[in-house]
């Protein structure tokens, strides 16, 4: 995978779309669902706070990337029947790491633990994809909320940068961190 494309809103390489997954840990219950026609409009309606807009692209941009690239796989984050967020994943064909990107929790639903629950659910759902080389993601250095969340979940900045974003990686289970 072209590292220049590997930033939070950009590129990876995915194969099988996952099914849905429900995490078995404390915090709000979320499910992750592949984005199909029934929930696409709800995903498109997701919005972050104005001061967060520079950290991410729009849902429309992310869904287009998933539609056209053959690389990223889109997942909606649901709390009950309500779509509250979005993320996408793809495996880097260069090193087999499983990238998470395009992560959004709707502004109206932030600060309730949904973001943490969504990342945990993704790690659980995508455990097979992350089993070889672990998980990776990137974020703007100024995005202290994202940095704190990812660090608390075992992602460690590596010193790599992608499109000027900090790259953090989480080794596969059993290999530390
Ligand atoms: C990053 C984001 C997905 C987190 O979603 P969330 O549902 O608000 O997150 P949570 O409620 O699970 O909180 C996760 C952690 O973020 C931190 N956090 C949450 N809201 C915060 C706030 N307003 N200020 C500072 N830190 C905050 C807390 O440290 C929290 O950790 P804790 O559970 O130990 O308290 C959300 O803020 C968002 O969509 N931001 C805009 C888009 C973005 O930056 N995406 C990431 C791109 S890499």
pLDDT-derived band at 158, boundaries 50, 70, 90: very high
- Does 19 or 52 have the greater pLDDT score? 52
Residue 21 domain-assigned? Answer: yes
pLDDT recorded at residue 70: 84
pLDDT recorded at residue 13: 31
Atom of ligand 1 lying closest to residue 55 CA: 44
pLDDT recorded at residue 18: 41
Residue 123 domain-assigned? Answer: yes
pLDDT recorded at residue 175: 56
Residue 175 domain-assigned? Answer: no
- Please provide the DSSP assignment of the chain as one string: --GGG-STTS-----SPP--B---SSSS--EEEE--TTTHHHHHT----GGGGGGS--HHHHHHHHHHHSS-EEEEEEETTEEEEEEEEEE-TTT--EEEEEEEE-GGGTTSSHHHHHHHHHHHHTTTTTTTT-EEEEE-TT-HHHHHHHHHTT-EEEEEEETTEEEEEEPPTTS--
pLDDT recorded at residue 2: 41
pLDDT recorded at residue 25: 58
Domains contained in the chain, number: 1
pLDDT-derived band at 11, boundaries 50, 70, 90: very low
Atom of ligand 1 lying closest to residue 165 CA: 48
Q: Domain limits at 152?
A: 3-170
Evaluate: CB of 113 within 6 angstroms of ligand 1. Answer: yes
pLDDT tens readout for residues 44-91: 999 999 999 999 999 999 999 999 988 999 999 999 999 999 999 999
Evaluate: CB of 48 within 6 angstroms of ligand 1. Answer: yes
Evaluate: CB of 111 within 6 angstroms of ligand 1. Answer: yes
| CATH (domain of 7) | 3.40.630.30
Residue 62 domain-assigned? Answer: yes
User: Span 148-162, mean pLDDT?
Assistant: 98
Q: Give, for ligand 1, the residue of 10, 145, 146, 153 to mutate: max count of ligand atoms closer than 8 Å to Cβ.
A: 145
């Amino acid at each position: 995978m072209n590292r220049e494309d590997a930033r939070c809103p950009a590129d990876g390489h995915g194969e099988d779309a996952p099914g849905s997954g429900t995490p078995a840990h404390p915090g709000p219950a979320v499910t992750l669902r592949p984005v199909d026609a029934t929930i696409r409009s709800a995903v498109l309606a997701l919005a972050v706070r104005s001061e967060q807009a520079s950290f991410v692209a729009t849902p429309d941009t992310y869904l287009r990337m998933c539609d056209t690239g053959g690389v990223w796989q889109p997942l909606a984050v649901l709390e009950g029947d309500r779509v509250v967020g979005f993320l996408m994943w793809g495996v880097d064909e260069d090193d087999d790491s499983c990238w998470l990107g395009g992560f959004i929790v709707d502004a109206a639903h932030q600060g309730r633990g949904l973001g943490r629950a969504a990342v945990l659910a993704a790690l659980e759902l995508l455990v097979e994809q992350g089993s070889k080389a672990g998980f990776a993601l990137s974020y703007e250095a100024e995005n202290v909320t994202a940095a704190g969340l990812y660090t608390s979940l075992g992602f460690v900045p590596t010193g790599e940068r992608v499109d000027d974003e900090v790259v953090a990686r989480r080794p596969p289970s059993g290999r530390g961190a």
